[in-house]
């Protein structure tokens, strides 16, 4: 699998670390039940999914990658920083 | 007081095999720093670098400047700066010049630098680098942060001879040399003094 890093270009997936589901929002720290769900109760989606990947062997940027987890087709990759700013 | 000897990162660089496939030289006495733009200061940083060094700050994985001083794009808002250390305490003065615009971290003793050239260079690097370094995909001026044999490297193409500069963490210099010697021996590795 290759991931098109918006900064570095197309790179092998071994250069990246998978860093979790990008569709979740971290709950307020004092909400213990919501935090439990957020940390431990993971969905196991099929098809197109949005995920965070960290380019640790390259530009050290966090990416939001849209990927079909059934076929491994990578549909899109953007800098998470840019996405958060927009 | 005990005098500390300055030992270059690639002091053990030596020739290997027959032929002149890869020509290697350690770049010594170069000041190196990482520069990271402070939040919201990217445009002001680019303006300051242009004004003070007449260098266009690269926004992508490219290098700007010359062997004397260069800014290499290593990530969004992040650069590796190399300076032929004619100026004493260059990194200190760089930090002052870019004060409040960027975080500047001294790396001169933290990385080893090699200059590599020779007719078999790309063939030899292909044994370790998982990206295309040919002239079409990686023209002169391109910079890549990637890994060779699990060791993080920053490499940039200086010209299409091709000449490639490579920066490796100093603690990895011994292992990197082992990889280079083993990979280049078949084509011949020559140390250019």
**In chain A, what are the domain boundaries?**
2-85
Q: A7 and B152: CB-CB below 8 Å? A: no
Comparing alpha-carbon positions, the chain B residue that sits nearest to A59 is B75
Which is nearest to A3 in space by CA: A47, A56, A81, A40? A56
Q: Which of B106, B140, B157 is the last residue of a domain?
A: B106
pLDDT band at B26 (very low <50, low <70, confident <90, very high): very high
ipTM above 0.95, yes or no: no
The answer to whether residue B126 neighbours chain A at the CB level (below 8 Å) is no
Q: Of the candidates B106, B127, B160, which is a domain's last residue?
A: B106
- The CATH superfamily assigned to A2-85 is Folate-binding superfamily (3.30.2270.10)
Q: Write down the residue that tokens 């910079």 correspond to.
A: B143
Q: Domains in chain B: how many in total?
A: 2
Q: Contact A15/B152, CB-based, under 8 Å?
A: no
Residues 68 through 107 of chain B touching chain A, CB cutoff 8 Å? 74-76, 78
Residues B179 and B134 in one domain: yes
Put simply, whether B134 touches A (Cβ < 8 Å) is no
The residues, any chain, with a CB within 8 Å of residue B14's CB and separated by 6 or more, are B181, B191
State the pLDDT at residue B85.
Answer: 74
Per residue in A12-62, pLDDT (tens digit) is 999 999 999 999 999 999 999 999 999 999 889 999 999 999 999 999 999
Expressed as residue numbers, the domain containing B159 is 22-27+110-191
Asked if residue B81 has pLDDT above 90, the reply is yes
Chain A contacts of B144, Cβ < 8 Å?
A: 8
* B193, pLDDT greater than 80: no
Cα–Cα distance measured from residue B73 to residue B98, given in angstroms and rounded to the nearest whole number = 17
Confidence of residue B16 (pLDDT cuts 50, 70, 90): very high
Residue after which a domain boundary falls, among B44, B77, B106: B106
Could you tell me the pLDDT band of residue B87, with boundaries at 50, 70 and 90?
confident
Residue B7 has pLDDT above 80, yes or no: yes
Q: What region does A10 belong to: left with phi over 0, alpha with psi -120 to 50, or beta?
A: beta
What confidence score (pLDDT) does residue B108 get?
Answer: 92
> B112-144: per-residue pLDDT in tens?
999 999 999 999 999 999 999 999 999 999 999
């Amino acid at each position: 699998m290759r991931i098109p890093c918006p900064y570095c270009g197309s790179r092998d997936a071994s250069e990246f670390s998978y860093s979790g589901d990008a569709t979740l929002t971290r709950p307020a720290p004092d909400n213990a039940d919501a935090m439990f769900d957020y940390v431990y109760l993971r969905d196991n989606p099929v098809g197109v999914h949005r995920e965070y990947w960290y380019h640790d062997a390259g530009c050290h940027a966090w990416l939001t990658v849209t990927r079909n987890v059934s076929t491994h087709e990578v549909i899109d990759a953007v800098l998470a920083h840019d996405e958060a700013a927009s | 007081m005990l005098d500390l000897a300055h030992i270059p990162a690639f002091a053990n660089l030596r020739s290997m095999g027959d032929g002149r496939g890869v020509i290697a030289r350690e770049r010594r006495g170069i000041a190196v720093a990482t520069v990271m733009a402070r939040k919201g200061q990217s445009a002001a940083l680019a303006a300051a670098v242009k004004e003070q060094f007449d260098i266009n700050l690269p926004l992508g994985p490219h290098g700007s400047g010359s062997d004397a001083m260069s800014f290499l794009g290593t990530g969004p808002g992040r650069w590796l700066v190399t300076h032929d250390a004619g100026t004493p305490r260059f990194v200190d003065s760089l930090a002052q010049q870019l004060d409040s615009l960027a975080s500047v971290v001294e790396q001169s003793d933290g990385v080893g630098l090699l200059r590599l050239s020779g007719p078999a260079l790309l063939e030899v690097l292909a044994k370790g680098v998982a990206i295309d370094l040919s002239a079409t995909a990686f023209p002169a001026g391109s910079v890549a942060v990637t890994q060779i044999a699990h060791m993080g490297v920053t490499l940039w193409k200086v010209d299409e001879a091709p000449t490639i500069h490579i920066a490796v963490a100093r603690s990895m210099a011994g292992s990197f040399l082992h990889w280079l010697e083993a990979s280049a021996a078949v084509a011949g590795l020559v140390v250019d003094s």
